[in-house]
Amino acid sequence: MASLLERGIHSFDKNDLLACSRGELFGPGNSQLPAPNMLMFDRITDIQNEGGEYGLGYVKAELDVTKDLWFFGCHFPGDPVMPGCLGLDAMWQLVGFFLGWRGGPGKGRALGVGKVKFKGEVLDTAKLVTYEIQLKKIVARGKLYMGVADGKVFVDNEHIYTAEDLQVGLIPNK
C-alpha cells in the first residue's frame, strides 16, 4: 500500500486523526496518535516532505481552545492554564505522525528533546493553538526509523514555546 505521502495527502481533519488513534490510518502496528483526551490537536493543516527551515519537511497543526478542555478544570483550579508538557507532547505526536505519513514502519515513541523554552501560556481565554514542526534529520537505517525536529507553539499567533531536537522513533513490531 502506498504511503499517504505517495498518495499526495497533505492535510487531515479530526476524523482522520481519530482514525489514526484507532490504528486505521497507517495500518496495524504502525504509528498511531493518542485518543482524546491526549490527542492535542484538532487538524493537521499542512504536512510536506520537502521545504521548511531545513529542507526535510514540516508539519502544521491546530487546536481549537475552548473553556471546557479537560485540563483547564484541574490545572489549576481558579487559574486555568494548559500544562506546558501537553504542548511538548503535541510536538512529539506530530513528529511521530510525520514518520507514519512517510510510510515508516513501527509504533511511534518519544525518545527525547534537546531544549525546551516556555515564554507564554495557553489560557482558557485563548482561541487557537498552532504547532509548527520543522524536520531536521530523518534516519532510516535497518530497523531504525527516527525523526529529529524543532518545534514551535503559538497561541493566537503569539510564539510561546520552542523545542529543539525533538526525537521520535518508530519501534519495529515483534
Catalytic residue among 43, 75, 107, 109: 75
Per-residue 3-state assignment (H helix, E strand, C coil) for 8-33: CCCCECHHHHHHHHCCCCCCCCCCCC
Whether residue 127 contacts residue 156, with contact meaning beta carbons closer than 8 Å, is answered with: yes
Helix (H) or strand (E) holding 90: helix 84-101
Cα 107 from Cα 109, distance rounded (Å): 7
Whether residue 81 contacts residue 121, with contact meaning beta carbons closer than 8 Å, is answered with: yes
Helix (H) or strand (E) holding 168: strand 158-171
Nearest to 138 by CA among 96, 172, 80: 96
Please give the grid coordinates belonging to residue 143: 530497523
75 is catalytic: yes
Local structure of 138: helix, strand or coil: strand
Write phi, then psi, for 103 (nearest 5 degrees): 100, 10
Task: Cite the active site residues.
Answer: 75
